[in-house]
Copies of this chain bind each other. A is one copy, B any other.
Amino acid sequence: MSQHPIALLIEKADKAINEEDFDTVVDLYAEDAVLVIRPGKTAVGKVQIRNAMEAIAAHFDRSLDVRQAGMVILETGDTALVLARTLVSAKNSPTIERKATYAFRKDAEDRWMCAIDNSYGHEVLDAGA
């Protein structure tokens, strides 16, 4: 069974994050993409997203391991909503399961790009933003 193109992009992103290949990571985001760094705090655009990814990698002492344990992609036209179970682990930390939510949109060249990356799911509601 062939995978959805967005599933392949997320797999590529996870691999690149785990290898700290941030050029590849930011390529997968739209120019004006929003990344939830933690509930209540976002990074906007490739420069801020790259800085956030580097800070996260350093925070986890370069041992971060991100992978998906199940995913549903709902799409229509140039918009897609992804619901994923994301496993985040690192040395000296217990594995955390997050209920991640991502919005993707197609760009002018018909490529899916990540527009909104919220790996915290509904935890953002607890930030009192």
Contacts and interface: CB of A to CB of B under 8 A. Distances in A.
Interface of A: 30, 32-34, 36, 42, 44, 70-72, 74-81, 83-85, 99, 101-103, 105, 115-116, 118, 121-122, 124-125, 127, 129
B74 A118 contact: yes
A79 B76 contact: no
For the complex formed by this chain, how many copies does it contain in all? 2
Given A74-B34, A115-B76, A116-B76, A103 B81 contact: yes
A116 B116 CA distance: 14
Given A36-B74, A75-B34, A125-B72, A116 B81 contact: yes
What's the dominant secondary structure at chain A's contact region? strand
A2 to B, nearest CB: 14
A103 B33 CA distance: 15
B33 A115 contact: no
